[in-house]
Amino acid sequence: MRMSPEAAGRTAHARSGVRPTGSRTAEAGLRWLLVLWGDLCLAAGMAGRGKLIAVIGDEDTVTGFLLGGIGELNKNRHPNFLVVEKDTTINEIEDTFRQFLHRDDIGIILINQYIAEMVRHALDAHQHSIPAVLEIPSKEHPYDAAKDSILRRARGMFTAEDLR
Amino acid sequence: MAAPDLRAELDSLLLQLLGDLEELEGKRAVLNARVEEGWLSLAKARYAMGAKSVGPLQYASHMEPQVCLHTSEAQEGLQKFKVVRAGVHTPEEVGPGEAALRRRKGPAKTPEPQSSEAPQDPLNWFGILVPHSLRQAQASFRDGLQLAADIASLQNRIDWGRNQIRGLQKKLKQLEPGAA
């Protein structure tokens, strides 16, 4: 039986795999829902309790940043700061630094650069992005970019062979 | 060809890395200046209040952080930091209809208690009336915290860029071993 041109067109359309309009609308809606769900999850994660900023430094540095409102001290957890005095040992500084690195609620560690020099090996071994370690100057020791771990890594990445 | 595309991407990453390094240097200079201002203000406050009046002896035995850090992942492995001040409450908006309804309820209801989670201002550790220099020190260090978050984000971006560049350089060497 000979098919009418319209029927032939509809059959060819069906065979070509072109989806009808209603199915495209449903797919677009599903994609929009997935994007919205992802955004909501991200917002929920950000709205939760944020991370802390820790500080290891001399008396004035720690007092100043605690004035800024970063301090946490309660009976359940260890404090997120350490005041380094003349009789503070390097082991104590290193232990505190490593504790801060292993805590999952600390996002940034502020440390005086002269104290960072004492535990440079521990700083250089830290390769993760969180917590970020930020070296700051002290009253007696101004900031020296040549000693900063991050900048030393960036400076050392270019060799003569790489630039050919 | 894959090699020209890789080279173009490598150039773009290198330019971005150099831009980030320049920005990092600028922000570091500002952070160092803020911290130095803070120390000077603390010294002035100590001069006004007494040598032992501004220091660890005044720290509270219980502290709640006023400042929190929110992290977000912009790309795979790239973390970004944002400082958020806790305890910032937006004023409750009352429309005209709601105000009328509230008046009808009468004064019998006790006011709802304020959020008990509001952290105490660390200035209160040093007394009720503190010198202006101590407030200035607090403002300087608060600005410093904002800059610290930006610098930490930049450092992460620099590390991420460095790793990306190393990966691309390895791929390029595999594609063009003769050029190495």
pLDDT above 70: residue B45:
yes
Distance from C-alpha of B50 to C-alpha of B38, rounded to nearest angstrom: 17
Question: DSSP 3-state assignment of A89?
Answer: coil
Chain A's closest residue to B162, CA to CA, is A154
Structure confidence at residue A115 (pLDDT): 95
Chain B's closest residue to A105, CA to CA, is B69
Structure confidence at residue B174 (pLDDT): 86
Instruction: Count Cβ–Cβ pairs < 8 Å, chain A vs chain B.
Output: 150
- The DSSP H or E segment spanning A95 is helix A90-102
Distance from C-alpha of A55 to C-alpha of A93, rounded to nearest angstrom: 11
Chain B's closest residue to A108, CA to CA, is B152
Range of the domain at A69: 49-154
Does B2 or A65 have the greater pLDDT score?
A: A65
Q: If we measure between CA atoms, which residue out of B82, B103, B107 comes closest to residue B94?
A: B103
Q: In angstroms, what separates the C-alpha of B108 from chain A's closest C-alpha?
A: 35
pLDDT above 80: residue A20:
no
Mean pLDDT of chain A: 78
- Banded model confidence at residue A146, pLDDT cuts 50, 70, 90: confident
Q: In angstroms, what separates the C-alpha of A162 from chain B's closest C-alpha?
A: 8
Q: What is the mean pLDDT of residues A118-143?
A: 91
pLDDT above 60: residue A12:
no
Q: Do A154 and B162 touch (CB under 8 A)?
A: yes
pTM of the model: 0.75
User: Which of the residue ranges A98-102, A143-147, A148-152, B124-128 has the most confident prediction, judged by mean pLDDT?
Assistant: A98-102
Kindly report the backbone phi and psi dihedral angles of residue B22, in degrees, each rounded to the nearest multiple of 5, phi listed first: -65, -40
pLDDT above 90: residue A133:
yes
Structure confidence at residue A151 (pLDDT): 81
Question: DSSP 3-state assignment of A143?
Answer: coil
CB A154 within 8 A of CB B17: yes
What residue has token string 């720290």? B59
| Overall domain count for chain A | 1
- Banded model confidence at residue A13, pLDDT cuts 50, 70, 90: very low
> Which among A53, A64, A65 has CB closest to B69?
A53
Q: If we measure between CA atoms, which residue out of B5, B54, B42 comes closest to residue B175?
A: B5
pLDDT above 50: residue A47:
no
> Which residues in chain B have their CB less than 8 angstroms from residue A59's CB?
55-56
CATH number for the domain spanning A64: value is 3.40.50.10580
Q: Is residue A161 one of the residues assigned to a domain?
A: no
Q: Structural domains in chain B? A: 1-55+65-87+128-174 (1.10.287.3240)
Q: B51 burial class (0-12, 13-18, 19+ CB within 10 angstroms)?
A: exposed
> Which residues in chain A have their CB less than 8 angstroms from residue B78's CB?
129
Chain B's closest residue to A51, CA to CA, is B69
Q: What is the mean pLDDT of residues A23-46?
A: 56
Distance from C-alpha of A32 to C-alpha of A35, rounded to nearest angstrom: 5
> Which residues in chain B have their CB less than 8 angstroms from residue A162's CB?
169
Mean pLDDT of chain B: 82
Q: Is residue A117 one of the residues assigned to a domain?
A: yes
What residue has token string 């940034």? A108
Encode pLDDT of B126-163 as tens digits. 988 899 999 999 999 999 999 999 999 999 999 999 98
Distance from C-alpha of B14 to C-alpha of B2, rounded to nearest angstrom: 18
Does B110 or B122 have the greater pLDDT score?
A: B122
The complex scores an ipTM of 0.79
- Strands A106-112, A81-83: parallel, antiparallel or unpaired by DSSP? unpaired
Q: Do A108 and B81 touch (CB under 8 A)?
A: yes
Q: Is residue A84 one of the residues assigned to a domain?
A: yes
